[in-house]
Amino acid sequence: MEDLAQALGAARPEGPAGRSGLLSICSFYATKPLAAGEGGMVLGDDGALLGRVRDARDYDERDDLAPRWNYKLTDLQAAVGLVQLSRYEGFIARRRAIAARYAEGLAGTPLGLPQEPAGGRHIFHRYVVRLPEDRARQPGAGAVEEAARALEAKGITARRPVHLPLHRLLGETGFPGAEEAWARHLSLPIYPSLTEEEIERIMDAVRSLCRGWGHP
């Protein structure tokens, strides 16, 4: 099964995201690129597997006790989702345009900026920047938390891409790559309804933050 919750519409050199698994799972939660509030969608080419999924989503008026659940969108959520789907390519185009503005406006900062995959298509569900290494090694509060608070003071909400890495939730140690990624990455606001004025304000705040670190 392929997790497609935040990648619907993205592509890799070998083809569209969602083609690697027998089934691909989309989420329609409010923070996802296609949002209907709650619920999701299962995609696939295997008719038998999809039939099992359809059978499992509703337990009412069945003649056996096979495991089933009440996993259905409401009619209202489905209607919202269909409208979102009809506009989805436009949403992706707007996200990509905002990402291009960020790439241009933040190019002179010490931040690591996301790159378009070679031969693929990024949908920029998130715009994740990497803080410079010297900031991550500063004593005291974490660099990401300090950066988020500085932006919050200017009315801009920025968050870690992941609240906690999996190994921390499991109480395990010994994953330095995951630790470094968690300590240095921050998601900047990106969504289709961002205005040009808001984009400029976000970039101004980020550039000001970098100058406060002693970077030009």
Helix extents (H) in 9-124: 47-56, 75-86, 88-105
Distance from the first to the final alpha carbon of the chain: 45
What is the four-CA torsion angle of 140, 133, 125, 193, rounded to 10 degrees? 70
Tokens at 164, concatenated: 């906690």
Are 122 and 167 in a shared domain? yes
Q: Which of these three, 45, 63, 86, is where a domain ends?
A: 86
Tokens at 85, concatenated: 């789907």
Q: Which of these three, 64, 86, 108, is where a domain ends?
A: 86
Are 139 and 204 in a shared domain? yes
Q: Which of these three, 66, 86, 106, is where a domain ends?
A: 86
CATH number at residue 80: 3.40.640.10
**What's the domain range around 121?**
89-212
Structural domains of the chain, count: 2
β-partners of residue 159 are 187
Are 17 and 73 in a shared domain? yes
pTM, entire model: 0.89
Are 97 and 42 in a shared domain? no
Are 122 and 174 in a shared domain? yes
Supply the pLDDT for residue 170. Answer: 96
Supply the pLDDT for residue 216. Answer: 62
Are 104 and 208 in a shared domain? yes
Supply the pLDDT for residue 24. Answer: 96
Alpha-carbon distance values, 158 to 40, 69, 128, 195, 216 (Å) = 26, 36, 10, 17, 21
CATH number at residue 171: 3.90.1150.10
Are 149 and 205 in a shared domain? yes
Are 82 and 93 in a shared domain? no
Are 67 and 12 in a shared domain? yes
Are 112 and 33 in a shared domain? no
Supply the pLDDT for residue 103. Answer: 97
Are 105 and 130 in a shared domain? yes
Q: Which residues of 48-84 are buried (b: 16+ CB within 10 A; e: fewer)?
A: eeeeeeeeeeeeeeeeeeeeeeeeebeeebeebbeeb
Are 112 and 188 in a shared domain? yes
Alpha-carbon distance values, 162 to 24, 126, 182, 185 (Å) = 21, 11, 7, 9
pLDDT per position in the chain (216 positions), as tens? 999 999 999 999 888 999 888 999 999 998 899 998 888 899 999 999 999 999 998 888 888 988 998 888 889 999 999 999 999 999 999 999 999 999 999 999 999 999 998 889 999 999 999 999 887 766 545 889 999 999 999 999 999 999 999 999 999 999 999 988 998 999 999 999 999 999 999 999 999 999 988 766
